[in-house]
Structure formats: C-alpha cells, structure tokens
Chains A and B, each alone.
Chain A
C-alpha cells in the first residue's frame, strides 16, 4: 500500500464519518423542513387549494434568493448564526448548518416541481370524495409523487456530497476536505486518487439506490 495512504488511513475513517454526519443532518433538514415548505409552495401555486399569487411569488423569490448564494459565501455569511446555533463555527456540526440552510430551499423547489406532475384531476377527485387538505397531501400528493420525490432526494444527496467538501473551509472535515488537504496542498496524488475514487463509488451507490427505490415505488 502506498505510504501516504497508509498514513492517512485512520483519518480517512474519521473523514467518512464526518461526511456521513454532514450529509445526514443536511438531508434530514431538507426533508423535515424543505419538504413541508415545498408542499406549501405547491399548494400556494395558481389553481391549487391555497392559491395565493403574492405569497407564492414571495416564497418562490425567497427560495431563489437563498439558492443564488455560492455555497462558500453562504458558509461564511452564516458564521454568526452558526455560532449561536451550535456554539462554534468550526467542525462538522457547524458545517452542517450552512449545508442544511442550502439544502432546505433546494429540496423545497424539487418537491414543488414534483408535485406539479400529479394530475389535477386526481386531486379534484379526492376533493369530490370529501378529502381534507391534509388527507390530500398525505394520501394523494405524496403517494402519487413518491418515486419522483425519491429521485429528487437522490439528486440532493449527490449535490451535497460535493458541497460538503467545501465545508473543509470551516474545519468541517469529510472526504472532500481530505482530498484538498493531502491530495491537493501536499501533492499526495495517491491520496487524491483514493478519495476521488471513494467519492465516485459513493455517488454511483446513491444514484443506483435511488433509482432502484424509485422504480419499485412507481406503479404508473
């Protein structure tokens, strides 16, 4: 085994753990906060049950604005907020804050777009049967859009796997950070190749898993 790799091996395991932590928190926030936000945005859109053009435009604008920030700038801009929230501005937990902040509007937009694919008539039929708004969300929208939502989460996971590399700037750690510190700054090409290879495998696995789940869920 090349010398450099042997030396960083213990760090590699830590890095993989850090990546998993950042990704887990970011995706968790995306699903728990971005998901409902996306459903709400969809219901505010013209022709839906909570249709409200000004509010729809405003929420959409807000989402676009957060999404406009280059991630590294968002990371730095959020430092004071991160410090109040986690008590520190460095480490994987701190890095998870801007990651979540970026993931929420991203996923909200993906959810909204996927719900648009649910045929109007199906929603209308549920109304005609006397379903409430919450029942329509839980039993119609999320059921009919479920395979698209899984694919949306897959896209999100892959994007944020690469965003998490930037988190190295605040000592967030992770696989990407390892690649930058050893592979790039110290010219340890073997480490670079290994970390990139790991990332490639991870991305392929996430995409393969996402596709497989989406396919089983899709009965259309």
Chain B
C-alpha cells in the first residue's frame, strides 16, 4: 500500500550510502514494509541496490546476503531451504522479492528465515554505524516479538551458516490451516559429531535452541521443550497447543534423527 508519511526513498549503492537518517529505515524486498501502514516512517533506504552476491559457498560456510531473495534461497539443494521458504504464509510471488535478511530483521515469531538461520547456528553479520562489523548468533539476534539486537543505525548484512550444520536435518511444522502462518516450527539437526540440536520457533516469542549430546532420550527432549516458558499467543494458535505440538514434533524429530 502507499506509505503516506514517506517523503524520500534512497537506493543504496555503496556502504557510504548506508547511513540512516532520522525517521529513515532500511529495507530489503519491502514486501512487509509496504504491506502495513507505517506511521512516522519518513524515509526508506533500499538495500537491494547494493548488488550483494546472494549466496556464497565455501567449504566451511554458506553466506547468504541479507538481500538474497527467499526464492533464490529456496532453490538451494538441501531440503531444509525449500521447507522453510514454503513455511512463509506469503505467496511464492512475494518470495521472488522478499529477502532473507528482511524476514529475520522483522523478527516476527513466524518468520521462517529466523527459524532456518537459528536452527543452523547461523551468525548474523551486522554493519555497525562506525563502518565496522559485528557478529552474533541469529538465535540471540532475535530477542522477542519484532525485537532484535539491531541498533537503529545498524544494518543486517548477511547470515553465515556453518556448512557442518547441514549434515542432517529434520523438519516439522503446523499451522491452524495447512498452508497458514506458522503455529510452531521445529527443526532438528544432527551434526557429524552426533550432537543433536533441536530449535523451536514460531510457537515461541523467539527461537529456542535445545542442545543435546549424542542420542538424547525421549525424556531429555521432552523436559527441555517443557522448560520453554514463552509460548506465543496470537490468532495463529494458542500457547497450550503450540507447546503440545512442539513436544510432539521434537520427539518425532528425535526419533527421525536417531
């Protein structure tokens, strides 16, 4: 929709452009920003002009630019990328424009890119106002419902995913309708070392990572999920159901990975 308070839109082409003024906000694809009224937003800085390489793979790391579209991410070979892309309530037509960084920086509990990146021990690469960079695990970067550690003058630049995290994954999701907005989304992975990590998101206000040693027991997993205390309450599911579904899925994932 038209954003009526916006007086200027700038397209960033180099880091020198990436300085946010008062009332100005950085934008990836813009598919969320333009989907709701934004009272008080007077300026937009469009990061898609930066020309960042969407995906870079090295032996150890998969680097996803913040401006990588969800459609591009979805085409990556490992099944988890498609599973998480399809967890977005928004259409595939919107995934052509919506960005990985935009989804994470928005920090909605149902943001599937947050689920993906946090489950894989992804690290957020953040450009700081002084021209430097800082790094923070995505699981800590997202602190609550639409809150992150990103300062007003910082920019999310990329997500670095350790290649080792993609060794073996399992995925479960439910919503109040089969393709609706996420009620809860549970991702499990077993690394080459045998370590199991189960990440619950969507059903919680922020992603919750549960780490286990080799071959955790059903009791281990259940008690860890049960210890989560921030089940989210919104039109997409009640907290008790989200907790129960997370318990169910965590156990299914434990069995699948064992």
Q: Do A and B bind each other?
A: no
Residue positions of B touching A, CB distance < 8 A: none
